[in-house]
Amino acid sequence: MTLNTFKNALFSALFLVISFAGYATEDTENKDDKEFNAKEMILHHVKDAYGFEIIEWNNEPVSIPLPVILWADNGLTTFMSSAFHHDDSGNTIVEKNGGKFVKLHEKIYQLNKGETAIVLDQEHHPTNATKPLNFSITRNVFMMWVSVALILLIFLTTAKSYKKSKDGVPKGIAGFIEPLVLFVRDEIARPMIGEHKYKKYMPYLLTVFFFIWINNIFGLIPIFNGANVSGNIAFTMTLALVTFIITTVKGNKNYWKHIFWMPGVPVPMKLFLAPIEIIGMFVKPLSLMIRLFANITAGHIIILALMSLIFIFETVWISPVSILFSLFILIIEIIVTAIQAYIFTVLSALYFGMATEEAHH
């Protein structure tokens, strides 16, 4: 890494840290009557939401609303998330299609008939409202669409660049993408799956690698205010499930034989190993799911927790320590965005290779 590259990375990370600090400050300004709650602030910025809060202007948040799509008692109900007026306490009631809806802790409830306000129990759960079927476009869903559009744009542009190139030398964005594609092919697919079978898995491996990497990068940009797709357990579970399905469907006779009746060992040991191998079939996708989710989420939580120290100790003298440590963690996070995409792709390729490996004689 050259000195200029390091300077640019350091400057970018410092800008992101200051931006994170700004978002942490938003939850503390003009709330003198309320004690600062670090846990509440961190969860607010990490979990999914129904819009993008860009900045606060004149004590009012400026945001980009997203569509709320519900299947309620009276059928399909749609409206924009701005109808809640940034209220997440359940006090704002939105009346649409004959129903009354409130938003509480980023969850939407429909009030029972005849109710005019939400009632909460001791655990802060609603007692007079139910959850409708929710098909809303949250910021994580929106950012996944943006990622898909960006991937299509990148690869269609790259393909067009190759068609126009007379000498076959990649130009423009193709010059950046080609080494990455070759890296996935030569360092991941070929060694893990095998020379004769890797090609059929390349589209999936490339898609997973770039999809996770791009979403991880978006999760570090504060303007998206917590659009942390890879930090959503449902997202990582879906990717792990797809890997599990491909591994199970493509598993050959040798693969299943090693699971249910391990060759080359005594019969008592076969009976002992079979349950372990069967459990291992489901542990593999679980490890994929949890590893990606935990590593991405942990970095965001650590950065916000370090920023919270300024407000917990209620002094600016702690700010240099918080910013420097946050800067260090964020530089690591920038590296982790690519590492986690690489690890998920490597392990997926490894499972495919194990499932398609032929018996050795």
Encode pLDDT of 250-284 as tens digits.
Answer: 988 888 888 888 787 788 888 888 888 899 889 99
- Order across the sheet with 99-104: list the strands: 94-96, 99-104, 107-111, 129-130
Give the Cα separation of 45 and 36 in Å (integer). Answer: 15
What is the DSSP code (8-state) at residue 188? Answer: I
Whole-angstrom CA distances from 157 to 152, 160, 161 are 8, 5, 6
The answer to whether residues 20 and 222 touch, using CB atoms and an 8 Å cutoff, is yes
Nearest to residue 129, comparing CAs of 104, 95, 97, 106? 104
Phi, psi (5° rounding) for residue 92? -90, 125
Six-digit token pair at 359? 């018996």
CA dihedral (4, 7, 11, 12) in degrees, to 10, reads 60
The answer to whether residues 137 and 66 touch, using CB atoms and an 8 Å cutoff, is yes
Place of tokens 């704002």: 92
Strands 133-134 and 67-72, sheet pairing: antiparallel
Give the Cα separation of 36 and 25 in Å (integer). Answer: 10
Q: Would you give the distance in Å from CA 287 to the centre of its chain?
A: 16
Compute the radius of gyration of the chain from its Cα atoms: 25
Give the Cα separation of 2 and 27 in Å (integer). Answer: 39
Cβ-Cβ contacts under 8 Å for 248 (sequence gap 6 or more) = 281, 355
Neighbour count for residue 211 (Cβ, 10 Å): 21
pLDDT at 47: 78
Beta strand segments in 58-182, E: 60-65, 67-72, 75-80, 94-96, 99-104, 107-111, 129-130, 133-134
Give the Cα separation of 315 and 107 in Å (integer). Answer: 34
Cβ-Cβ contacts under 8 Å for 265 (sequence gap 6 or more) = 273
pLDDT at 31: 44
Four-residue CA torsion sign, 328, 332, 334, 335: positive
Nearest to residue 198, comparing CAs of 213, 211, 187? 187
Strand partners, 67: 80
Angle at 203 between CA 299 and CA 332, to 5 degrees: 15
Give the Cα separation of 282 and 279 in Å (integer). Answer: 6
- Residue numbers of the chain with a pLDDT score lower than 70: 1-34, 36, 44, 56, 59, 168, 222-226, 360-361
Q: Determine the residue type at 291.
A: R
pLDDT at 105: 83
Give the Cα separation of 85 and 304 in Å (integer). Answer: 25
Six-digit token pair at 318? 């702690």
